[in-house]
Structure 1
Amino acid sequence: MQLTGRKSWTLMSLVLVAALAGCTSTSMTRAPVEDRGSAGASARVDPATLPGAENAGKPGYYTVKAGDTVMQIARDHNQNWRDIARWNNLENSNLIEVGQVLRVVPPAVASASAPAPAKPPVPVATQTTPGVAPVAPAVAVAPAPAPAPTSAPPPTAGADDVDFIWPANGTLVAGFDEVKNKGLGIGGKAGDPVLAAADGRVVYAGAGLRGYGNLIILKHNNTFLTAYAHNQSLLVKEDQNVKRGQKIAEMGSTDADRVKLHFEIRRSGKPVDPARYLPPR
C-alpha cells in the first residue's frame, strides 16, 4: 500500500498519498489531467506553449505527467496542495495539463537558490606629484581565500529526527513491505483511538485517496510525514496543529476488509519501515 495518486510511485502532506497496493478500490475519481498532446487530440500542443514551460528542468519545479494530480504532486514534495495551487495561480486545481510545469517550492526558497551577481572590480586611481615622475599605482591585493574543504561537512546528525510513539494499542496484523504494504497494519475495534505519533501539522484530512478510506496525513518537519488510514471518523482538520499522543481519529474499516489502522512513515517522501522508528512494545 502506498499514498500516491499515480501508480509510478508505489504515501501529501500534500499534501504522503502512488499505486495503492493491498487495498480495495472505491469509486473515487482522480482529478483530471488534460493531455492535449495524446493520440486522438485535434492538434498536438507544443510543450513550449504550456504554462511554466520556461521553468522546465529548473530546481523547485515539476513537469506534470499523465495520471498526476495536484494533491499527489504536493504530497511527493512535502507541500500542502493549496500552496501548490496558489504558487501557480491555478484557478481550478483539479485541472492540470501533461507537460505543464508547476512550482513545488515556496518562491522565497527558489529565489534564495539563485547565485548572486558578481561585483565589478573597484578602480584604483593613479596619483601624481608636480615635478615627480608618475608612480605606478600599487596593485590592490585581495585577501587570499581560505582553502576550500575537500568535502562538504556532513549535516548535523539527527537534526530532523522525530520521537515517534505508537499511534494505536492494537496488535500488529500486517508488517512493512516495500512492494505490497508501505506501512504497518494495527488491529483493533471500531472506535478505538488513533493518536498522533508526534507533534505536527495536518496537511490532509479526507477520503479522496482511493484505497485508504478516511485518511489523515501529518507533516512533522521537512523530513518526516506520517499517514493514518481506514479511520471510522476524523477528529482534526487540515492546517491544524496537533500534539504527540493527541487523539486525531477513531479506528475503522473504510476501504479495508477489517477494522484496522494502516500507519505509514515517510522520510523525504519515501516509505520507511515504521518499526525502525517506533519504540519497542
Structure 2
Amino acid sequence: MSLLHPAIARPGYRHRMGLAVACALWLAGCASDYQAPMDDRSSALERTPPLIVSNGQEVPATPRRRAEVSASGSNTAGGGNTASGASTSPVGASTTVVRPATLGGGISRTTISRSPATGAQSATGASPAAGASPAAGSSPATGVSPATGVSSATGAAARTHTVARGDTLYSIAWTHNIDYRRLALANNLAAPYTIYPGQQLNLIDSGVSESAVSAMPDIPASPAGELTGSTGQRPQAAIDARRTGSVNTRQIDGVSWQWPADGRMLSVFSESGSNRGVDIAGVQGQAVYAAADGDVVYAGTGIQGAGNLVILRHSARHLSAYMYNRGMVVGEGDRVRAGDKIAEMGTGPNGRDMLHFEVRVDGKPTDPVRFLPSR
C-alpha cells in the first residue's frame, strides 16, 4: 500500500511540480536584475516595446510617442512659431518656464516656454525691442509731457514768433489768433511799433490789462524790413472797379457790412473745427470787394496756406480777411471803402474757384454770417 497522497500518486503530478519549481527559480533570478521602466533622473522616457502574440505569432509593438509641447512664446527669426523652433525638452525639465500671457479680448492663459527665464523677457517670452520706450509715458529726462506728448522745447517755440520779412503785427496776430494790440503791449513796443526780420516776439498776452488795450492808438501797417509806398489813399484801381448798384448792408458794432463777393456760400463757420470763416463760390478773376470801410493792414503771401491774402482793419476791434486770391489790387497802408475792389478771386486748396472770408473780433475768430446782411 502506498503512503503517498492519492493526488501525488496521480500520473504527471511530479512533472507539473517540477515545472512549477523551475518557473519559481527563474522568476527569482529575474527579480535580482529588475530595473524600473523609467529613470527619474533622465530627461526622456525610454521603454522596451513589449511583444504581442497575434494568431500564435509574436509581433513587436510600435512604441507610442509622447506629444511634444512647443513654447507658444518662442518665435523664429521671422517672428512666427514653427515646429522646428519648438523645444523637445519634457515638461518639468529645469529649463521649463511657465508664464501668464494675455490674449485679445482680455482672455488670460498660461503658456510654456522652453528657454531659460531672463529678466529681459516680456510676459509672452519675447525680448523687448532695443530702445523701446516705457508704455506708461515718457521719462522726465526727455522733457515730454505724457499728457500732451509735446516737448518743452516745442512748447517754448510755440510761445514766440520769429519775425520774417514782410510780416506785420496784424499778420502775426492773425496767425496766432490774438489781438494785435495785445501783441504790441506784450512786447513793450512803442510808436511807431516797428518790427524787424529775425526779431523774437512773445505771444503770451496774459499780463496785458484791458485798460491798456483800450488806450492803444492806431498801429500803422509797417511790413518788417520793407518800406510802405502807400500814402493812406484809396487806390484808383479799387475805385474804378468798385461795386455798383443797390447793395444790402448791415450795421454791427458801428461798422456797416456787405458781402465781399457775389456767389453762394459753400461752407459755414466752425468754432471748434478748422473752418474759421465761410467759403463763397465764384469764378477765377471775379471781383473781391471790401466788406466794410477800413485800412489795408496786410497784403501778401507770407501766411502759409492762405495764398494771396488781404487783411482789413475796420475798427480797433474788427478785422476781416480775404484768402486764395488770384491777384491783389491794394497794398499795406491803403484806405478802402466798402465795395471797393481789393482783389480777384482765385482757387482754393480743393481746386475750386472760391473766396475764403473771415472776421476777427479782438483777435478771436467770429462767424462772419453774424455781420453780413441777408440776401
Name the TM-score, length of structure 2 as normaliser. Answer: 0.40
Partner Cα separation in structure 1 for residue 182 and residue 344 of structure 2: 24
Task: Quote the residue 1:190 is aligned against.
Answer: 284
Task: Quote the residue 2:17 is aligned against.
Answer: none
Per-residue CA deviation, residues 88-134 of structure 1 (Å, 9 max, x unaligned), is 98773333166999x999xxx68x79xxxxxxxxxxxxxxxxxxxxx
Distance apart, 1:82 and its partner CA: 9.9
> In the alignment, does 2:214 pair up with 1:214?
no
Matches within 5 A, 1:102-251: 160-178=253-271, 179-251=273-345
Partner Cα separation in structure 2 for residue 202 and residue 81 of structure 1: 18
Q: CA RMSD in A?
A: 4.0
Rate the CA distance shift 1:168–1:68 in 2: closer, same or farther, 3 A.
same
Rate the CA distance shift 1:211–1:67 in 2: closer, same or farther, 3 A.
farther
* Aligned partner of 2:200 among 96, 99, 106: 96
Distance apart, 1:266 and its partner CA: 1.0
Q: Which residue type is aligned with residue 354 of structure 2?
A: K
Per-residue CA deviation, residues 179-203 of structure 1 (Å, 9 max, x unaligned), is 2211000011000000000000011
Q: Is the 8 A contact 1:228 1:261 kept in 2?
A: yes
- Other structure's SS at 2:372 match: coil
Partner Cα separation in structure 1 for residue 203 and residue 274 of structure 2: 30
Rate the CA distance shift 1:233–1:81 in 2: closer, same or farther, 3 A.
farther
> In the alignment, does 2:190 pair up with 1:87?
yes
Distance apart, 1:246 and its partner CA: 0.3
Per-residue CA deviation, residues 225-264 of structure 1 (Å, 9 max, x unaligned), is 1000000000000011100000000000165532110001
Larger helix share, 1 or 2? 2
Q: Is the 8 A contact 1:212 1:255 kept in 2?
A: no
Q: Is the 8 A contact 1:214 1:254 kept in 2?
A: no
Rate the CA distance shift 1:69–1:253 in 2: closer, same or farther, 3 A.
farther
Per-residue CA deviation, residues 4-26 of structure 1 (Å, 9 max, x unaligned), is xxxxxxxxxxxxxxxxxxxxxxx
Choose between structure 1 and 2 for higher RCO, CA contacts under 8 A separated by at least 6 residues.
1
Rate the CA distance shift 1:256–1:181 in 2: closer, same or farther, 3 A.
same
Partner Cα separation in structure 2 for residue 170 and residue 99 of structure 1: 37
- Other structure's SS at 2:369 match: helix
Distance apart, 1:275 and its partner CA: 1.1
* Aligned partner of 2:371 among 271, 277, 280: 277
Partner Cα separation in structure 1 for residue 195 and residue 370 of structure 2: 42
> In the alignment, does 2:179 pair up with 1:77?
yes
Partner Cα separation in structure 1 for residue 371 and residue 252 of structure 2: 15
Rate the CA distance shift 1:209–1:252 in 2: closer, same or farther, 3 A.
same
Rate the CA distance shift 1:219–1:256 in 2: closer, same or farther, 3 A.
farther
- Other structure's SS at 1:275 match: helix
Unaligned ranges ≥5, structure 1:
1-37, 40-62, 114-157
Distance apart, 1:81 and its partner CA: 9.0
- Greater CA radius of gyration, 1 or 2? 2
Q: Is the 8 A contact 1:64 1:98 kept in 2?
A: no
Q: Which residue type is aligned with residue 87 of structure 1?
A: A
Partner Cα separation in structure 2 for residue 273 and residue 97 of structure 1: 28
Q: How many pairs align?
A: 175
Identity %: 39
Per-residue CA deviation, residues 32-59 of structure 1 (Å, 9 max, x unaligned), is xxxxxx98xxxxxxxxxxxxxxxxxxxx
Rate the CA distance shift 1:194–1:87 in 2: closer, same or farther, 3 A.
same
Partner Cα separation in structure 1 for residue 373 and residue 252 of structure 2: 19
Task: Quote the residue 2:243 is aligned against.
Answer: none
Q: Which residue type is aligned with residue 317 of structure 2?
A: T
Per-residue CA deviation, residues 43-86 of structure 1 (Å, 9 max, x unaligned), is xxxxxxxxxxxxxxxxxxxx985453454544422359999796
Task: Quote the residue 2:358 is aligned against.
Answer: 264
Partner Cα separation in structure 2 for residue 159 and residue 172 of structure 1: 21
Unaligned ranges ≥5, structure 2:
1-141, 144-155, 164-168, 217-250
Partner Cα separation in structure 1 for residue 348 and residue 327 of structure 2: 9
Q: Is the 8 A contact 1:160 1:221 kept in 2?
A: no
Q: Which residue type is aligned with residue 180 of structure 2?
A: N
